Amino acid sequence: MSYLIHQSKERRKARASLSNAPGRFDLSRERFEDEWYQDPETDVIRTTIRQEQARSIISYNRSPDLPFDRSVNPYRGCEHGCIYCFARPSHAYLGLSPGLDFETQLIARPNAAEVLRQELSKPRYRVATLALGTNTDPYQPCERDLGIMRDCLEVLRDFNHPIAIVTKGSLIERDIDILSEMAAKGLVRVGISLTTLDPDLSRRMEPRAPAPARRLAVIRRLSDAGIPVRVMTSPVVPGLTDHELEALLAAGAEAGADTASWIMLRLPREVSQLWQDWLAEHEPGRAEKVMTRLREMHGGRDYDPRWGQRMRGEGRYAEMIAQRFKSACKRLGLQEKATDLRNDLFRVPPQAGDQLALF
């Protein structure tokens, strides 16, 4: 059941969204109490996972803002619940709310690895770096039980396919055996998102994601295993986390990251109101400053979706953040562009029933 009204703090414990407002493709919904229905779990909002049989799994894009043209997402929705997540509006396409539904009503694609193997095996497939975790985190809590991401990694390893992973999840450590093998061949890089070093702010803004110190430990373990890691100081939140930029980069470099990147806070579609509601409850004294800065970078709007502008904005403030980032990276020895991954090792592995070669 989804509600239009804001939920009590008790019900949304460890959730970032305050409400479950309908998406733009859905009818308005409100809670109606007729005193007959009794919900045995009114204390907290539980996470539910339903399964979807994927018919295709590789998504292609033509965005000039992105360093990849294809991606795989094993899950829809994300229990990490980051209030600022730009992927929230995608839940509206499912008839679900970008608010609490995005954090609590997840969709898993258990046949993802099987479909991926089929798509990579097609004669017309041409290899290029495949991104994982670009929409929702492939290492969110449910992956521990479902293992869909690991199944996909095993396929990609078998094909010697180059991959770029983005995550906040510490569960990636489980797959160091596969990732280190691929890294030795120049086939993988990992990006770890580090938004703040303040554990209290992180818990409120990213309620079910690992704490900042835990993410730094992940960077260290991956780096020690020979896996190249990028520290992603994203999103930079003006008036809230922007003062931490140099400290975040320094912490990432000390943990072993060799490259770095940043993106300004983005508020597409429904995310804007969800974010502003969160600010009003958690950071009321900074809300006006945060939104004023964002609007200055987007021509007076909460968000500018134009390519070339949406990731970082424009104007003096955006330029200042870019200069600070570049200066810190130079001082810390962090690269802004990662080494290209190898495409020349890709091959379709033998399948059951294939004719064996003579030599």
Domain with CATH 3.80.30.30 in the chain: 55-76+115-332
Nearest by Cα to 338 from 263, 260, 264: 260
Which CATH architecture does the domain made up of 55-76+115-332 adopt?
Alpha-Beta Horseshoe (3.80)
- pLDDT of amino acid 35: 44
Token digits for 59?
């998504």
With contact defined as beta carbons under 8 Å apart, do 207 and 213 qualify? no
- pLDDT of amino acid 9: 63
- pLDDT of amino acid 42: 54
Mean pLDDT by 10 residues, the chain (359 residues): 49 76 62 46 79 95 85 96 94 89 95 98 96 94 97 98 97 98 98 97 96 98 98 96 98 98 94 95 96 94 82 92 98 95 96 60
Q: Is 246 helix (H, G, I), strand (E, B) or coil?
A: helix
Nearest by Cα to 24 from 107, 92, 104, 94: 92
What span, in angstroms and rounded, lies between the C-alpha atoms of 54 and 173?
26
- pLDDT of amino acid 145: 96
Say if residue 166 is exposed, middle or buried (CB neighbours under 10 Å; 0-12, 13-18, 19+): buried
If you write DSSP's letter for every residue of 283-321 in order, what string do you get? -TTTHHHHHHHHHHHTTTSS----TTTTTT--SHHHHHH
What span, in angstroms and rounded, lies between the C-alpha atoms of 72 and 152?
9
